[in-house]
């Protein structure tokens, strides 16, 4: 069974159509949209501040979403894929974004819609990723604009695939 716990009297809000893996952990002030999925060993900790997730967000294996006490919340838009072992911490991720495997997005960063954060990238505090950008590296910098083909072929495809994958486990 997944670990789903209240913190200071506030319980996660998880719609019925979401999939939560048996060893995922979700605690505290977490509000999930419809058709979300939280995969094996993923952790969503709304213990020190709130986490708001849109529809069709997938938090892949070993990923972590957290915040900073009394300073930063995490706001995740619709159709967002958070790759395996990524860390999304106290930031805003707009709609239609792919956070690559092992990437780190720090406090107060803002990831604009229709963007990709490459695998292994480190998005430093207060970084503003413009909509339609691909950022890569340590620290992450813009490498190019995203093409319509890449947006549809990767960002949208992955979000839709995770809705399908979760149906296999329900």
The three-state DSSP-derived secondary structure of 137-150 is CCCCEEEEECCHHH
pLDDT band for 76, please (50, 70, 90 cuts).
very high
Residue 170 above 90 pLDDT? no
| Predicted confidence (pLDDT) per residue in 106-134, tens digit | 999 999 999 999 999 999 999 999 999 99
3-state helix, strand, coil in the chain (%, to 5): 15, 40, 45
- Confirm if 101 and 86 have CB atoms less than 8 A apart: yes
Burial 38-49 (b: 16+ CB within 10 A, else e): bbebbbbbbbbb
Which helix (H) or strand (E) segment holds residue 167: the answer is helix 157-169
| pLDDT tens column, 80-96 | 999 999 999 999 999 99
Every domain of the chain and the residues it spans:
3-169
> For 7-46, what is each residue's pLDDT tens digit?
999 999 999 999 999 999 999 999 999 999 999 999 999 9
Q: Are 2 and 26 in contact (CB under 8 A)?
A: yes
Question: Is the torsion defined by CA of 75, 101, 68, 71 positive or negative?
Answer: negative
> Mean pLDDT across the chain, nearest whole number?
97
What's the CATH number of domain 3-169, 2.160.10.10, 1.10.1240.10, 1.10.8.60, 1.10.3720.10?
A: 2.160.10.10
Report d(CA 44, CA 131) in Å as an integer.
25
| C-alpha span between 133 and 154 (Å, rounded) | 14
pLDDT surpasses 90 at 78:
yes
């Amino acid at each position: 069974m997944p670990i789903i716990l209240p913190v200071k009297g506030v319980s996660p809000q998880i719609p019925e159509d979401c999939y939560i893996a048996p060893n995922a952990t979700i605690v505290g002030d977490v509000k999930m949209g419809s058709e979300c999925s939280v995969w094996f060993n993923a952790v969503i900790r709304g213990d020190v501040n709130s986490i708001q997730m849109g529809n069709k967000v997938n938090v892949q294996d070993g990923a972590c979403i957290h915040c900073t006490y009394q300073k930063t919340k995490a706001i995740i838009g619709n159709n967002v894929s958070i790759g395996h072992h990524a860390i999304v911490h106290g930031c805003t991720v707009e709609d239609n974004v792919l956070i690559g495997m092992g990437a780190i997005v720090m406090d107060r960063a803002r990831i604009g819609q229709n963007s990709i954060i490459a695998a292994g990238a480190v998005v430093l505090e207060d970084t503003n990723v413009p909509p339609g950008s691909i950022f890569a590296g340590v620290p992450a910098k813009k490498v190019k604009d995203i093409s319509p083909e890449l947006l549809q072929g990767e960002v949208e495809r992955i979000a839709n695939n995770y809705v399908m994958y979760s149906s296999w486990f329900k």
